[in-house]
Structure 1
Amino acid sequence: MSPEAASGRIARRFSAVRQELRPALVTFFTAGDPDLATSEKILAALPEAGADIIELGMPFSDPMADGPAIQAAGLRALEAGQTLKKTLAMVRRFRERDDDTPIVLMGYYNPIYQYGPEAFVRDAREAGVDGLIVVDLPPEEDEELCLPALRGGLNFIRLATPTTDDKRLPAVLQNTSGFVYYVSITGITGSAAPNTTLVAEAVERIKAHTDLPVAVGFGVRTREQAAAIGRTADGVVVGSALVSAIAASLDDAGKATDMTVAAVTSLVAELAEGVRLSRQMAAE
């Protein structure tokens, strides 16, 4: 791994929240949803609302691991003309005013393959991207993108799931950097609420294999859930709830309204309060 990936914005942010005795709040929404201008406003507003790390979805026409909410968000973005180049340009403009908040691009390999993996790594790094989550590239395919990304200064964040047993876990973790994203439920995104007892056991098991922070996502929708997950996790990831908030704010034609940005930031503020309460609750 390059020194940049090992000591970049993601590592610094987890170190900072650790000093505050709390987990990081990791927020996800889809680039270009519901349109480019509105999604740029959302991106710009997230850090002040309480997001510590931002996952920016790369819209794709066949998002097999995503539930209906994120699938719909990707479709809205694609219909509004979002492309991978426009997503990188979003990050580049964000970096003009925020050089601290980590940005992770999350999605599928096909658009990156079409872009060209080497060119994508170069352009993503230049734009100010810190890490990648590519859900359909297993460890056996690390030569495709993971290793080039690490050499290029990007973190490559891997998913672990409830079915990732101790035999499989070392392979998953081998070239993972930045943090481990633990998917707290099996199935598609947004499909259930996490079991906090099982999550705590899983986080402890993963930490026995790695020194990387462990962030937990899938199914977290409320301040209370964020607080409960944050008692043991190093990060709490929220995606479908934010994407659903965007959808609920749109007009009958599916267009942004004056409430769209506020719908996201108000929920992020509640979730941020939850992660700040989590370790306090654990100590009581």
Structure 2
Amino acid sequence: MRHGKYPFVYGFLIPPVVLYLVFVIGPYLQSFYISMTDWRGLSPEVRLIGLDNFARVFQDEMFWKALRNHGQLLLTVPLFTLAIALLFAFLLNVAGRSAGNAIGGLRGSTFYKIIFFFPQVLSIAVLGVLFQLVYRPDEGGLLNGLLGKAGIAPVGFLTDPDLALWSIIAVMVWSHVGFYLVLFSAGMAAIPKELYEAAAIDGAGRARTFFTVTLPLLRNHVQTGWIYLGIGVLDYFVLIKVLSVDEGGPDGATTVLGMQVWKSAFTNYNFGYASALGVVLFFIVMTFAMVTMRFTRNREEIEF
């Protein structure tokens, strides 16, 4: 039995590893090769040009605009999403009182979780179409219709370069809060109630209990959420393509690297340059993930 164990295990491991190498690692390696060519995707002719595509990337004004937009997304989307989700999860799971005045969730908390989670069941394209109607620049839009009733002139939420990216950020935050609310709720359910009771005996209020008990014990959940959201906004494409004016406009105000890859490959048919942009995006994502894990790796401590 002991000698037959390893062939049995390897028999299950080898097929998925082979599939991963062929369908994940293989395309990555292929993109590295294509990034050093001038291939236009329309013929089998490929000419190696070295690092010329990468030199062009760093001289491209739209690349730097996309990078600045990514920086704004990285600073705002994870911060607002996780903060709101943590607040709502704490209110729904800990801020209430159960029988005997013990720590408990609010009445109807399950219903609220379902409502907050609802955007997760909608596809990103559907969300984009819905918020096109919400952000319409005339009084036919939901927001401008409400503003019109208050005597305020219509606002170009998606056509004003100063508002367009913030409008899309609001949709990103709204659509992700429900998922992290459920994630943090599951983490809070695993925290022993005795810790909250000890904090209450020591006179800790709700805010102090949150920062000294709940948040330290949810550190791993927050770290995972931050990395996941960071990678998500670095690779965000569909929602921005649907909502933005002229695919990343106005005037590049909402463009991201994914949008530049799309335009280079399927509008300009320059697959070599598109692959170079993809390779740069790959290293940016990997660097972000490693730096985030390095600086958020702390042991959990509880101190009243």
Give me the TM-score of the superposition, normalised by structure 2: 0.24
Give the number of the structure with larger relative contact order, counting CA–CA contacts within 8 Å between residues 6 or more apart: 2
Tell me which protein shows more strand as a share of its residues: 1
Give me the TM-score of the superposition, normalised by structure 1: 0.25
